[in-house]
Amino acid sequence: MALQITDATLDEVLKTDKLVVIDFWAEWCGPCKMVSPVIDQLADEYQDGVVIGKVDVDNNDEATSKYGIRNIPTILFIKNGEVVDKLVGASTKNVFVEKIEKLK
């Protein structure tokens, strides 16, 4: 399962030297529901080398504003506190795996 990230825990999550993958989503978002199980699978598969989590945009205004999230799902790839890549919209698992392998 992906880590549930909130405004209160975001800074702590970003302190790692590992690649951080964050899915910005909402309960009412159809494409988010398609991406969610893929994010959970990836969190299990990469649990030792990559931090993978989710931010509910409806309940975490600070995190959403910090990264200027306007469309969901938006998946950010963050390394050393900096956004190094981004996906907007639903994507296949293969797309996520490619990006993670390239960036980790």
Kindly list the catalytic residues: 29, 32
Q: Give the separation between CA 37 and CA 20, rounded to whole angstroms.
A: 17
Q: Give the separation between CA 100 and CA 18, rounded to whole angstroms.
A: 11
Q: Give the separation between CA 104 and CA 99, rounded to whole angstroms.
A: 8
User: How far is residue 50 from each of residues 70, 95, 99, measured CA to CA in Å?
Assistant: 25, 16, 12
